[in-house]
């Protein structure tokens, strides 16, 4: 494979790959925050359910 072909492939696909990786990293942080919120909500719901049973 010639060097110029490699440069052309990198130019054509490098930007979409970089954007995809950036979005995945940003999405991962949001998913972690969402997971923590779901756990907190689940704990609060369990506590509320325990109080209403008494």
pLDDT digits (tens, 9 = 90+) for 3-46: 788 778 778 888 888 888 888 888 999 999 999 999 999 999 99
Task: Determine the pLDDT at residue 41.
Answer: 95
Place of tokens 């049973």: 53
Distances (CA, A) of 20 to 17, 29, 33: 5, 15, 20
Overall domain count for the chain: 1
- Residue 42 lies in domain: 1-53
């Amino acid at each position: 494979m010639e060097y110029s072909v490699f440069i052309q492939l990198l130019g054509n696909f490098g930007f979409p790959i970089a954007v995809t990786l950036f979005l995945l990293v940003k999405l991962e942080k949001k998913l972690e925050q969402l997971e923590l919120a779901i756990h907190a909500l689940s704990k609060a719901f369990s506590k509320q359910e325990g109080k209403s049973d008494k």
